[in-house]
Amino acid sequence: MPTDDAAADGGTDAGADDPSDQEVVEAAAEAADRVVFSRLDRSAVDDLDVTVTFEDGILEVDVYLNAPDASGDPDRVADDAALAARGAVDDLFA
């Protein structure tokens, strides 16, 4: 089930200490993957696609998870993965 989550970085001026766009994308994708595979066995996941973009201070995260044989709720896991991605980016800018 696809899940979208978007957030602004909270500021309009890019500071010298702000992470690069690439660092933001990598942190978000890694956080989403961690959530999925901490809750579901890899063997239960038929397909996982985490798409992250970060442009002009806007974060977009799309998590597609196909895990029909999973013991948990794949929709909830996908939602939580998108939220974790947003939280990881928030932490980078904190």
Mean pLDDT check: name the lowest of 6-15, 34-43, 83-92.
Answer: 6-15
pLDDT at residue 17, as a whole number: 84
- The total of other beta-carbon atoms located within 10 Å of residue 94's CB is 6
Q: Is the pLDDT of residue 10 over 90?
A: no
Q: Which domains are seen in the chain, by residue range?
A: 3-10+18-93 (3.30.300.100)
The DSSP letter of residue 20 is: P
pTM for the full model?
Answer: 0.82
Surface-to-core class of residue 59, CB atoms within 10 Å of its CB (0-12 exposed, 13-18 middle, 19+ buried): buried
Q: Is the pLDDT of residue 3 over 70?
A: no
